């Protein structure tokens, strides 16, 4: 019986494929993996012989490397295997560090400004021996990849959940509000603005694709095509431009800074699907007690915010 060539595939071969696919360069993939370029090339060549398919297009020169159809199919499996190995390494590192270890948490701007500080306060009081390291990104998919590869232990995120080895909980329903300049006619009107009002306004939208697509989907479901005049993922920039009369912004309430004197956040008259904020972790990883405690703290603070309204923060010691 002829031996199965696939049994000769090693994790380093799949790691090389994943690195080349991500970097689109043998040279950069080698730097990332700590190999020589020739070693990465040899691993890819051997992998292609073992699976019996050409996996990469090699245009030569400075042009980027790309995956063939077979390469794209194999990459899906390679990413899961490499991520599982990275998660196992993170688990062992967490166990060896004991209770006084490091908890790595992913976050994004609005959560970092309005929710995270209160979670950090209460968690830090209960678990002073645990060091929390934060990783911020405006890209939910990037944060979820960090979870998948064991580079963070937990992350705040927005639903829906992408495909992957994730376990999640819902923390908070964050309604959208219309941010306008304080001297805007809409701010002086007694009636709440409708989505028809929104459609007439120049809007400042999100730059990051995940945020942009989610908001566009919500608007299009209501038959609204937004007139975007500028994009930014920085809440300070959005508030400043709205205050200057450059446009309005449809943003989650957590993104609104109630201390900014020159803008106001208006509730919408129409029902508009809120942003769902949650927390995600790797379902196959061992979860340390500190991680479970952080999740419980985030849930308690989120409940407090929902009860009091997200314009107000919980009083110190309210959610412990």
Q: What is the pLDDT of residue 309?
A: 62
Q: Would you say 105 and 279 are in contact if contact means Cβ atoms under 8 Å apart?
A: no
List of domains in the chain: 5-84 (1.10.10.10), 101-171+277-308 (3.40.190.10), 176-273 (3.40.190.10)
Q: Would you say 224 and 199 are in contact if contact means Cβ atoms under 8 Å apart?
A: yes
Q: What is the pLDDT of residue 97?
A: 54
Q: What is the pLDDT of residue 281?
A: 95
Q: What is the pLDDT of residue 208?
A: 66
Residue (of 176, 310, 147, 314) closest to 249 by Cα position = 176
Q: What is the pLDDT of residue 312?
A: 47
Angle CA 97–102–104, to nearest 5: 135
Q: What is the pLDDT of residue 299?
A: 94
Structure tokens at 245: 């009369």
Q: What is the DSSP string of 203-247?
A: EEE--SHHHHHHHHHHHHHTT---EEEEE-S-HHHHHHHHHTTS-
pTM over the 0.85 mark: no
Residue (of 208, 81, 87) closest to 137 by Cα position = 208
Collect the ranges in the chain with pLDDT lower than 70: 1-3, 91, 93-100, 208-215, 218, 308-320
DSSP 3-state of 102: strand
Cα separation of 317 and 182, whole Å? 33
Q: What is the pLDDT of residue 118?
A: 93
């Amino acid at each position: 019986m002829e031996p199965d060539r696939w049994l000769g595939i090693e994790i380093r071969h799949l790691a090389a494929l994943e690195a080349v696919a991500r970097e689109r360069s043998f040279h950069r993939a080698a730097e990332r993996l700590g190999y020589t370029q020739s070693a990465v090339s040899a691993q890819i060549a051997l992998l292609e012989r073992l699976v019996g398919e050409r996996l990469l297009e090699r245009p030569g020169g400075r042009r980027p490397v790309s995956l063939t159809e077979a390469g794209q199919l194999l990459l899906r499996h390679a990413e899961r295997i490499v991520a599982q190995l990275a998660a196992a390494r993170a688990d062992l590192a967490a166990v060896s560090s004991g209770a006084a270890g490091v908890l790595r948490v992913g976050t994004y701007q609005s959560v970092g400004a309005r929710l995270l500080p209160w979670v950090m306060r209460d968690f830090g009081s209960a678990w002073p021996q645990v060091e929390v390291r934060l990783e911020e990104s405006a890209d939910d998919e990037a944060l979820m990849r960090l979870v998948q590869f064991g580079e963070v232990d937990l992350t705040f995120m927005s639903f829906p959940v992408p495909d992957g080895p994730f376990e999640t909980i819902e923390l908070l329903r964050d309604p959208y509000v219309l941010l306008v300049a304080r001297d805007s006619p809409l701010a002086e009107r007694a009636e709440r603005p409708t989505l028809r009002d929104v459609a007439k306004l120049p809007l400042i939208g999100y730059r990051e694709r995940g945020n942009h697509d989610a908001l566009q989907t919500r608007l299009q479901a209501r038959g609204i095509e937004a007139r975007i005049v500028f994009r930014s993922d920085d809440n300070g920039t959005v508030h400043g431009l709205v205050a200057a009369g450059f446009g309005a912004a449809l943003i989650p309430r957590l993104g609104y800074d109630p201390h900014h004197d020159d803008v106001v956040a208006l509730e919408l008259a129409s029902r508009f699907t809120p942003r769902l904020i949650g927390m995600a972790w790797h379902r196959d990883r061992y979860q340390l007690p500190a991680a479970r405690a952080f999740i419980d703290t985030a849930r308690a603070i989120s409940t407090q915010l929902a009860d009091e309204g997200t314009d107000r923060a919980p009083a110190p010691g309210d959610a412990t």
